[in-house]
Copies of this chain bind each other. A is one copy, B any other.
Amino acid sequence: MEKKITVLPGDGIGPEVVAAAVRVLKVIGKRYNHDFQLGYAAIGGAAIDQFNNPLPDETIAMCEQSDAVLLGAVGGPKWDNNPAELRPELGLLKIRKTFDLFANLRPVKAFPSLLDSSPLKREVAENVDLMIVRELTGGIYFGEKKRDNEEASDLNIYTRREIERIVENAFELARLRRGKLCSVDKANVLETSRLWRQIVEEKKELYPDVVVEHNLVDSVAMKLITNPGHYDVVVTDNMFGDILSDEASVITGSLGVLPSASIRSDSFGLYEPVHGSAPEIAGQGIANPAATILSVAMMLQYSFGMKEEAAEIERAVNTVFEDGYFTADLVKDGGRALTTDEFTDKVIAEIDTSF
């Protein structure tokens, strides 16, 4: 297959982890005979520096011509005091909205070899295998905003259609996984939550094979820690999803290895590691590229339908961990930390020799 991919390295460790993931992508292309055509463009702080715009028109144009987008990370102290319209994160919010990437998929799965790094007891974290589905282009993020010196407000607003499409998406995912869906809201307080809950109830008629539960956001914030193994697919709105997906990202000790996908109804999508730009270690060649490599796997699966290729990457990364190779963020006492390139070499070697 021929696929066009826009690569947005971004800031901090973004360029390093993206370079590593691109190496893996090229090996997969060669092995499976795909023609991955890469174009590079700017986003975030790097784009502000170069174009005075966190999401330049050139970048949008290139993404429009592509089948998928691979993003590193945006942000850093250099731009922290910029005015709102020149903040790196705005590039992220704008690319989501411009391309209508309404579904943010955040899988969290325990790697047995990483559980020592988890803040949770092994028996609590070891069976975790969940997917948070966060609505990404609506809600309080994009509702009307006002501020003067005396008062400020943000409108949390959802249309039926916005809720329906994310809920359908979550049901479809649950069906492909263990068939359990937890819808998270604050229906005892918010009207948006009541509409949300009503729509989940309507949709569940169409998915009799999926077991649905409704749970309040405060209660889920607890249970994600006390019993994370309970969850399969979790669907929620933009703001709750922001909080809960980050909370969930630390329970298995594998924040540095978590990928994400931001997709829409067709196959186009944006893929990025969950971790941020980590400016404190940027440029040293020591960042963990696993999350970005696994984001490439999600791209292969969700945008290109290449299930076998995706599984091969996941298998390779997992084997490297099982063999005891880690970057500095995950290395165990007495072990040697691999550099970004060394870790990537191991993953590639694993792919090369595996068939």
Contact = CB atoms under 8 A, between A and B. Distances in A.
Interface stretch (A28-36, A218-226, A287-295): A218-226
Given A155-B155, A221-B247, A150 B160 contact: yes
A211 interface: no
Contact of A154 (B145, B191, B245): B191
Interface string A82-98: 00100101000100000
A232 B160 CA distance: 42
A154 B243 contact: no
Nearest to A145: B191
Interface of A: 84, 87, 89, 93, 118-121, 124, 140-141, 143, 145-147, 149-160, 186, 188-192, 194-196, 217-219, 221-222, 224-227, 239-240, 242-247, 249-251, 255
A148 to B, nearest CB: 9
B153 A158 contact: yes
A226 B254 CA distance: 12
A322 B247 CA distance: 32
20 contacts: A118-B121, A120-B120, A120-B121, A120-B225, A147-B194, A150-B159, A152-B157, A152-B191, A152-B192, A152-B195, A153-B192, A156-B156, A186-B242, A217-B242, A217-B243, A218-B245, A218-B246, A221-B243, A222-B247, A222-B250
